[in-house]
């Protein structure tokens, strides 16, 4: 089994889910007392959030590069980043090549299922930027639709005021489903992408108007499959 290195803390709630669900998936596949081989570096989210708001992505890339090298030197075989938005600035070169990119994992799933057009929910940085959408549209052929500007602002507010702190309200749930329905009415989207690793907590108990593609779950399954590569028939059970 390969060792997975996780850059986390962006937010801590997401990183908790990654740790728990990776181990759950390993235990489901391998049985017995098996658990994942993991190394985690958890950032102080306040530091990253401040740099994001300042638009200082160069410094974020420097931090990611430094701590990615730290994990690789400690024995990680490959790396994942427990966040969608922060994939805007993964390290480049040899270190960057060690990352399993969340948008590639998502794109492969969308392409495999023949999805032509999808709605995207996430932070304003993610929904307004091209770094994520370009991978899905240009590399995997899935057109991306985002909410209206006002809806994007409200979705972003809920993410940062509630979800990254591990909480949400019934009103938050209702608003997200309203936004999903509005996107469906405006465009002929087939699915909704949960492009923020915390959103799945909010949508778990509701009834979405369209199938949901949870990027966190997709990313985790791909990481587990990579970690178990070479384990013979075991890897064939990873879906």
Q: Looking at the structure, do residues 198 and 116 belong to the same domain, yes or no? A: yes
Q: Mean pLDDT throughout 27-31?
A: 94
> Using 50, 70 and 90 to split pLDDT, how confident is the model at 24?
very high
The whole-angstrom separation of Cα 210 and Cα 77 is 37
Q: In the predicted model, is pLDDT for residue 233 greater than 80?
A: no
pLDDT tens digits, 31-88: 999 999 999 999 999 999 999 999 999 999 999 999 999 999 999 999 999 999 999 9
> Using 50, 70 and 90 to split pLDDT, how confident is the model at 111?
very high
Q: Looking at the structure, do residues 53 and 153 belong to the same domain, yes or no? A: no
> Using 50, 70 and 90 to split pLDDT, how confident is the model at 200?
confident
**Parent domain of 61:** 4-101+218-237
Q: In the predicted model, is pLDDT for residue 207 greater than 90?
A: no
**Furthest-apart CA atoms within the chain: distance in Å:** 50
Q: How far is CA 119 from CA 49, 146, 180, in A?
A: 25, 6, 8
For 112, left (φ over 0), alpha (ψ -120 to 50), or beta?
A: alpha
The whole-angstrom separation of Cα 56 and Cα 86 is 12
Q: How many domains does the chain have?
A: 2
Cα-trace Rg, the chain: 17
CATH number at residue 139: 3.40.50.1860
pLDDT tens digits, 139-168: 999 999 999 999 999 999 999 999 998 888
């Amino acid at each position: 089994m390969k060792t997975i290195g996780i850059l986390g803390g962006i937010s801590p709630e997401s990183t908790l889910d990654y740790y728990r669900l990776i181990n759950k998936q390993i235990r489901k596949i391998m049985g017995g007392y098996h658990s994942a081989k993991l190394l985690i570096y958890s950032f102080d989210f306040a530091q990253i959030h401040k740099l994001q708001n300042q638009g200082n992505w160069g410094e974020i890339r420097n931090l990611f590069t430094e701590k990615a090298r730290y994990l690789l030197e400690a024995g990680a075989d490959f790396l994942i980043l427990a966040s969608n938005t922060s994939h805007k600035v993964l390290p480049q070169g040899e270190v960057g090549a060690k990352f399993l990119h969340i948008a590639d994992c998502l794109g492969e799933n969308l392409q495999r299922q023949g999805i032509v057009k999808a709605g995207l929910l996430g932070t304003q940085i993610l929904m307004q930027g091209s770094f994520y959408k370009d991978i899905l549209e240009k590399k995997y052929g899935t057109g991306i639709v985002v909410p209206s500007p006002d809806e994007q602002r409200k979705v972003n507010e809920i993410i940062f005021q509630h979800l990254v702190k591990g909480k949400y309200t019934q009103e938050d749930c209702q608003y997200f489903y309203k936004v999903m329905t509005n996107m469906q009415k405006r465009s002929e989207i087939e699915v909704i992408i949960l492009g923020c690793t915390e959103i799945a907590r909010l949508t778990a108990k509701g009834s979405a108007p369209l199938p949901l593609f949870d990027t966190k779950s997709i990313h985790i399954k791909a990481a587990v499959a990579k970690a178990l590569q070479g384990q013979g028939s075991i890897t064939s059970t990873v879906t």
